[in-house]
Amino acid sequence: MKTGAQTNPRSIAINKTLPNFSAMFHRTRNALLLLLSLTGSAAWGQNYSFRFVNFPGAAVSGLNSVNSAGNIVGFYSYPASCCIATGFSLIDGVFRVIAYPGSGNSEAASINASQIIVGFYEDSSGLRHGYALQTGKFKSLNYPGAVETEATSINDGNSVVGDYYDGTHWRGFTLQGGKYATLDYPGAANTVPVTSNNSGQISGYFYQDDRVVHGFLYSGGTFTQLDYPGAAQSGCQGINNSGEIAGFYLDTSGIYYGFIWQSGAFTPLNMPGALQTIPAGINDTGQVAGFAITDYGDTGQAFLATPIPVSAAGKRGSPSGFMRPGR
């Protein structure tokens, strides 16, 4: 595990996370059936249906990205008592392992319309490196001169964003046409771009050395800070081509909640029955991919939230879209 200045809060699978994420994800136990007693507007008040999308047989699963065709990438681990995370994809209903050859921990972070996947892995020294995966072939993506690199997103134009460690702090980057460029939030010690849409808007978060995280939107060459009202910390994660952002915030007790942001307005997004919700990606249909803590044993499960059409809003009942964990 990286500590101090090297600890980057981007990954939720590899142990380099926001305060409390490490304990949250690495004390997990075997998944149990989530029992829900919520009905009517209590379960469906946000106009989303939720279902689990866990890697088969895994103790822990999480989603990072969903494209507009509904193809998904994320991570899983087993047994829950250990700390080895592995990436996976779910394309056309088929799960596949995504693991950089010879790596320990690895994570699939993003998938675009052409099914190109980017992510990152840890080498034998525990240092992170980025990669792209296309038609079964891996390609390394490492910022020139960086100690560590993470590729976190690829849009449909094959532009990549991510972050790199320069030996002191984490800094953001863009990669377009084979050319890397640094992207830092003004005045921030650390910048973590998470996702870019097809128009080049970028969502992410930044923090100083005190590790208090704030969300941002980068659009048209301008950064805008986005913090959920009243939250102790906030982070922006996925952004779609309509400019909708999926993100998370922490309350003063360190509990994680989800939100959707669009055109200056925040809307809560939390999985019914879950103790904590961390949205990670959002596609052009408004589907949200993420990770939820579903019991007091910190069982972590992957979820996909799908907007309910307005015409169906008056017909909601008890949730029927829930699946058994690991199925």
pLDDT in tens, 102-140: 998 999 999 999 999 999 999 999 999 999 999 999 999
- pLDDT class of 79 with cuts at 50, 70, 90: low
User: What pLDDT does 193 receive?
Assistant: 98
Q: Name the percent of the chain lying above pLDDT 70.
A: 78
Across the beta sheet with 265-268, the strand order is 233-239, 245-250, 256-262, 265-268
Judge whether residue 314 has pLDDT over 70.
no
- 157: helix, strand or coil: coil
Most confident of 123-127, 202-206, 293-297: 202-206
Q: What is the DSSP string of 179-240?
A: EEEEE--TT-SEEEEEEE-TT--EEEEEE-TT--EEEEEEETTEEEEE--TT-SEEEEEEE-
- pLDDT class of 78 with cuts at 50, 70, 90: confident
Q: Which domains does the chain have, with CATH numbers?
A: 4-315 (2.120.10.30)
Mean pLDDT, rounded, for 83-100: 94
Q: Return mean pLDDT, the chain.
A: 83
314 conformational bin, left if phi > 0, alpha if psi -120 to 50, beta if neither: alpha
Judge whether residue 1 has pLDDT over 90.
no
Judge whether residue 227 has pLDDT over 70.
yes
Judge whether residue 187 has pLDDT over 80.
yes
pLDDT digit string, tens, across residues 263-279:
999 999 999 999 999 99
Burial of 92 (0-12, 13-18, 19+ CB in 10 A): exposed
CA distance 200 to 183: 12
User: At 192, which amino acid appears?
Assistant: V
Please tell me what DSSP assigns to residue 79. Answer: S
Please tell me what DSSP assigns to residue 29. Answer: -
User: What pLDDT does 322 receive?
Assistant: 27
- Is residue 117 within 8 Å of residue 153, measured between CB atoms? no
User: What pLDDT does 233 receive?
Assistant: 97
Q: Which of 257, 211, 209, 262 is nearest to 230 (CA)?
A: 257
User: What pLDDT does 294 receive?
Assistant: 86
272 conformational bin, left if phi > 0, alpha if psi -120 to 50, beta if neither: beta
